[in-house]
Amino acid sequence: MDQNQILILVLAATAALVTYKLTNFNNPQDVKNAIPIYNTGYKKTPRRGDNSVNTGDVWMRAATSPNSSIEVSDNLQRILEKKYSRFRYCHICEEIIQLINIHIKSNSTFQYFRAPAVVLCNRVSPLAGFDHSICNGIIDTYGPPLLYVADQLVLDPHTTCKKMSFCVPKLITNQQSSKFHSFTQDEPQIEIVDPMSPKMTSTKPSERDKPTETLRVLQISDIHVDKFYKPGSPSNCDIFLCCHEDVNGTEPAGYYGEYNCDLPWWTVDVLVDSIKQIEPPPDFIIYTGDSPPHDVWKQNWKGQLATDRDVIDFLNDRFDGINIYPTLGNHESFPANLYYSPLRDYQKLNKRSLHLWKKLFPLPKDQKTNIKEAAYYTALVKPGLRILSFNTNYGYTFNFYALLNWKNPTLDAQRRFMKKTLTKAKINGEKVIIIGHIPPGDVPNTFDEYGQFYTQLVTNYSDIIVLQLFGHTHRDQYEMILPDPTESITSGVAFIAPSVTTFMGQNPAYRIYHLDPVTFVPVDYDQYYLNITKANADHNPVVEKLYSAKEEYQLKDLSPQSFLELSKRFKSNETLVQRYLRNMYAGSDAMGDCDIGCKHITICETLSSSLTAWLTCVSSLNI
């Protein structure tokens, strides 16, 4: 294999890391200059029987349909590329896919190109803003899974990169036919069995059992604890994650944390201590996932599972006597971001999740099979109120294995399980809290199919779904569930809580929701944070309330309609939108300058629970 081809493959293998760091390039052309691109002679290879999918054929049919899209303006293209850096690398992604296809056809093994790949990674890594010391770990971690996926498929470069959101999508002009075609039209190749259905009987509370005080629900998300955090080590460094003893850089790390780093255990403990000081204590807790740190080039299965265990045991110990309902994040697995339940390693992860989660709450016996299958479940919190926790990793564009979902029966099984659970809850007069890690409208990091399914699900059961809680983005955000993104009718609002970790520039945070004791609908929530800069300066960490939602955003209530009106007010109220942008980073200054284009796109994010909804909003922007 030509060295230039290997270099492209290295970039693909490091995608999970590079996508975070590509913003360090001043110009995308810098990447192309470092990677000479030429005519590879790529042609679409024939279909490989039942074990592959020719994505080009499926998407060609979509492309020749009579509706539907227009190119974005040059100005909007620049705005989108500035806000979503991965859009700058569409052409690079296409070249990667071309060369992966060449590699697959050559029948070369991973070991064949590993050594030269490391050499070339060392050469290109400074352009992406990280030191070459991570190259061995990154290539060994992400190279084999990527090649495994590519070997199962016949990938068309243009359509694959569009699907994985490395290219700015075309804007929608015909809403009647705006839904995207599926990535594949093939049927699953193995039999799908019915998911284990919950044995749900009527659980309506009696009149005398109804409480008079609001229920308090604590949400903790994205802890990302770093066992190797070292005070005094460089907080400004030349690799992906700083504040480790073995990195080079400047600006010594403070004791309690830094914005380029994950949090040490003792700062996580500070936050938990502050929660325990709040009276009355939470009635129950939602943990929306992601325990391990972001040092993805150092990780292995043993370490990931150990961190998962340590965090669960820590929460269980510190909140003894309070039920904690978890969901699976994208960092619980190895490699981080990747999840594919048919593979043995992920079956082990699911079994370990079952072992850990049953410590946290009374797990119904009939739900053990669902967790072992694909880490989803339902449980009764109290009479009349139910939790539905689902696995969102199927919808994540950084999960390379998601391209194989066409032959993964657990995705369809989970969807049918969610529908059955909500149907039975409605029959029994129960209200439902849905929890997941990755929000459905996290553009451009989620597949449109995920957002479309979730939007329809919530719309169908909006009368019984009282709360939708997510994490993952590390930001304080919300997403409107709009069954028709061209109309001002909403089915719900998905709340996205900011992270515990400081990684990506925000202060450590957690949130407490207040629910009506009879209807279980949210009446307000309090957002708490730790000013990490002040804590380091004073050596006195003080967790404070950042805001209460109703007061902060002048809301009549926390109904979906109130948040839809809030999004509309953002367009004309500069003070309000600036408040939202600052709160997005839990009171830090990480947001920086957000010009008019940035503000409009941010408002579109609040109005989107799918890529289609986001495109509809962006299509209406006259910029």
Domain ranges of the chain: 3-177
Using DSSP's 3-state secondary structure scheme, residue 411 falls into helix
Low-confidence ranges of the chain (pLDDT < 70): 1-72, 96, 99-100, 103-109, 112-113, 115-117, 120-121, 124-131, 172-212, 406-407, 623
Taking the C-alpha atoms of residue 202 and residue 263, their distance in angstroms, rounded to an integer, is 44
- Please identify which residue in the block is written with the tokens 């993964």: 408
Question: What is the reported pLDDT for 113?
Answer: 60
| Long-range own/partner contacts, residues 306-315 (CB < 8 A, 24 or more apart) | 307/225, 307/227, 308/332, 308/352, 308/353, 308/356, 309/352, 309/356, 310/225, 311/223, 311/225, 312/356, 312/357, 312/359, 312/360, 313/356, 313/359, 314/268, 314/272, 315/220, 315/272, 315/285, 315/287, 315/360
What does the alpha-carbon distance between residue 72 and residue 132 come to, in Å, rounded to a whole number? 37
Within 8 A by CB and 6+ apart from 393, the residues are 328, 330, 333, 339, 399, 402, 437, 438
Nearest to 331 by CA among 410, 387, 262: 262
Q: What is the pLDDT of residues 158-179, one digit of tens each?
A: 888 887 778 887 776 544 333 3
β-pairing verdict for 69-70 and 171-172: antiparallel
Helices (H) and strands (E) in the chain, counts: 21, 16
- The whole-number pLDDT of residue 488 equals 84
Q: What is the 3-state secondary structure (H, E, C) of 106-130?
A: HCCCHHHHHHHHHHHHHHHHHHHCC
Q: How far is it, in rounded angstroms, from Cα 207 to Cα 213? A: 14
Q: Which residues, in sequence order, are bridge partners of residue 326?
A: 287
Nearest one of 137, 111, 112, 503 to 294, comparing CA atoms: 503
Q: What is the pLDDT of residue 59?
A: 26
In total, the chain counts a number of residues equal to 623
- Terminal-to-terminal C-alpha distance of the chain: 45
Q: DSSP code of 572? A: T
pLDDT of amino acid 173? 59
pLDDT at residue number 444: 86
> What confidence score (pLDDT) does residue 261 get?
95
Displacement of CA 212 from its chain's centroid (Å): 36
Torsion of CA 96, 102, 108, 111, to 10 degrees: -10
The pLDDT, as a whole number, for residue 209 is 57
Q: Which amino acid is at 584?
A: M
Predicted confidence at residue 171, as pLDDT, reads 74
Q: Do the Cβ atoms of 360 and 326 come closer than 8 Å?
A: yes
Write the DSSP symbol of residue 367. G
